[in-house]
Amino acid sequence: MVDAVAGLGLRTVFEPGKMHPKDWGNPGRVRCALKEAGGRAVRVANKHHLYLLVAGYLQAHPTTAESPLRLRIAGLEASGKAPPPPAVPRGWKINPVLPLHSPALSGGGVSENILKEMMQEMQGQQGGGGRRGGDGAEGGRKKKEKKKGRA
């Protein structure tokens, strides 16, 4: 995307740390200026026209397994070889070619029972700091059961 927008001659900024919550496996945001400082439009009529130009570039230059190696990000070491495809749980759709700084590549992938693991972590954090004062039959107030009245 960065290459496509920069190839159009637009002022481009790549923000590798930004991501969309639904597309967490593919981080990074590309920002570009569609107008010059004076307010005059640059070779792109509007956002839809920009999308068409970027789509044409992406079709002419398809993504390969070596594409993530071209992007250099500060603080990230380059191993020189293409990363293995991410571990994808059943039912999830994730692109097999991801940037090197993608959270989907770190660790063992995404767990299929993420809710179960979150509950176990929460119970582990509570640990021994549970209830005080014996078996819990005394001292606690019971909730009154509310009944719906007839109108």
CATH number at residue 6: 3.30.56.30
Let me know if residue 31 belongs to a domain.
yes
Let me know if residue 34 belongs to a domain.
yes
Task: Tell me how far apart the alpha carbons of residues 104 and 102 are, in angstroms, rounded to a whole number.
Answer: 5
Let me know if residue 42 belongs to a domain.
yes
Let me know if residue 7 belongs to a domain.
yes
Beta-bridged to residue 14, according to DSSP, are 30
Domain limits for position 11: 2-62
Let me know if residue 121 belongs to a domain.
no
Task: Report how many domains make up the chain.
Answer: 1
CA-nearest of 68, 49, 47, 64 to 2 is: 68
What is the per-residue pLDDT for 70? Answer: 63
- Whole-model pTM? 0.47
What are the mean pLDDT values of the chain's consecutive 10-residue runs (151 residues total)?
A: 81 78 69 75 82 88 70 60 64 66 57 69 67 56 78 63
Let me know if residue 149 belongs to a domain.
no
